[in-house]
Amino acid sequence: MIPRYATPAMAAIWSDEARWNAALRVELAVLEAQAGTGEVPPDAVAVIRAKAKVDVARINELERTTDHDVVAFVNQLAESVGPEGRWIHRGLTSSDVVDTALALQIQSAAALIDEGLALLMRTIIRRAREERDTIMIGRTHGMHAEPTTMGAKMATWAFEVSRARERIATSAADAATGKISGPVGTYSQISPEVETIALEALGLRADQASTQIVQRDRHAAFVSSIAIAGGSLERIATEIRHLQRSEVDEMREPFRSGQAGSSAMPHKRNPIKSERIAGLARLLRGYAAAAMENQPLWHERDISHSSAERILLPDATSLLAFMVESLNGVIHGAEIRRERMVENFERGLGLHAASRLLTALVDRGAERTVAYAMVQGAAARAQEQATHLREVCRSTPEITAVLESATINSLFDERRATRNAGVLVDRLTHLG
């Protein structure tokens, strides 16, 4: 991932140093298991554990000759150990080490993402509680619909982030799968007992039936859960972008002193962070597609998945971590413009009460299709005449014949319309 969109913590997880140190953990776990089963001298394992060190520069140097990174890695370890190094990689194939080490990296990346999502969820919950009773117009198709509250809107964000956490945790747990079963996965040179002991020591599950690799449905599910989480962040970011439009202006991204919105137009205050999140979410969906393409490999294995994974796994996890951190900052410092929400309500000419007006007419005995036409006609006149719907209703004989003036007035009380909206915020207690 380019530095602009990489967090230092996630970059460290996917560094060459981290990758080969994870591979070293796998090699050592296998050696300890083989020592336990009597296949490798315990004294040799003790020497290897004490002396084996990863040297990325030397691995890269050896790979220029071997054109095989795992062979270069194994040879470099053997060099660092001495004579006992001959026991390293005994009975293993490259994917035993690579796929099992990858599972360790995925665990670390998923844990880091979860930390960020947990923080984002807490931030949203805090802001939702602050805005529990902040009334604003709800919109469908971009048009005024019925009143809602900012707290209710944010509650939907918090629950969606919670679901993203659950999906990623579930798929990451499934991807925390290794295999120590040798060439084509048949334990021809290594025993199932060694696999069990080694993977338990590493905190990983064993693939029930691997080929020469761990099958990529697990990885596809993990990256798909990341892409879905990205879509959730994009939904929130898109809402913020819409609410910051000049014609709406009900919510603004934080804007620090000295920040510039445009090189040409000094007045601009653009929702650039939310726009960036929307753009990066597109990449995540592309990575999910590539991860799915990695599933249908030839026979017991090929390596067409390898080149794609070296890019998509670090990039997908890095992007999501960056997007989560960025959105958390946006929501933490977002400016909620309550006075503008009131202004926009007034511009709506009371049309938000149309559905309640319809229900009231039906409740008083009007036939629904007739009542619908009455309200639709009154709403159209209100818009044409730029007159509040309440006044139009009062001057419409068909409506006043059914509803009293006091009843009509009560239908336009937005607080009555949102009296149950606080329930959505109260339910956030279940999330912590």
Residue-by-residue pLDDT tens, the chain, 432 positions? 788 898 999 999 999 999 999 999 999 999 999 999 999 999 999 999 999 999 999 999 999 999 999 999 999 999 999 999 999 999 999 999 999 999 999 999 999 999 999 999 999 999 999 999 999 999 999 999 999 999 999 999 999 999 999 999 999 999 999 999 999 999 999 999 999 999 999 999 999 999 999 999 999 999 999 999 999 999 999 999 999 999 999 999 987 777 777 777 878 788 899 999 999 999 999 999 999 999 999 999 888 899 999 999 999 999 999 999 999 999 999 999 999 999 999 999 999 999 999 999 999 999 999 999 999 999 999 999 999 999 999 999 999 999 999 999 999 998 888 999 999 999 999 886
Q: Distance between CA 68 and CA 421 in Å, rounded?
A: 61
Q: What is residue 75's predicted lDDT score, i.e. its pLDDT?
A: 98
Write down how long the chain is: 432
Q: Distance between CA 308 and CA 316 in Å, rounded?
A: 12
**CATH of the domain spanning 351-411:** 1.10.40.30
Q: What is residue 392's predicted lDDT score, i.e. its pLDDT?
A: 96
Q: What is residue 267's predicted lDDT score, i.e. its pLDDT?
A: 80
Q: What is the pTM of this model?
A: 0.93
Q: Which residues of 116-153 are buried (b: 16+ CB within 10 A; e: fewer)?
A: bbbebbebbbebbbebbebbbbbbeeeebbbbbbbbbb
Kind of pairing, strands 335-336 and 251-252?
antiparallel
Architecture of the CATH domain 92-342: Up-down Bundle (1.20)
Q: What is residue 195's predicted lDDT score, i.e. its pLDDT?
A: 97
Q: What is residue 374's predicted lDDT score, i.e. its pLDDT?
A: 95
Residues 6+ apart with CB under 8 A from 215: 207, 295
Looking at the annotation, which residues are catalytic? 141, 262
Alpha-carbon separation of residue 322 from 7, 159, 277, 309, 317 (angstroms) = 6, 20, 9, 19, 9
Amino acid found at 355: S
Q: What is residue 254's predicted lDDT score, i.e. its pLDDT?
A: 86
Residue ranges of the chain that CATH labels 1.10.40.30? 351-411
Residue ranges of the chain that CATH labels 1.20.200.10? 92-342
Structure tokens at 69: 């990174």
Q: What is residue 432's predicted lDDT score, i.e. its pLDDT?
A: 65
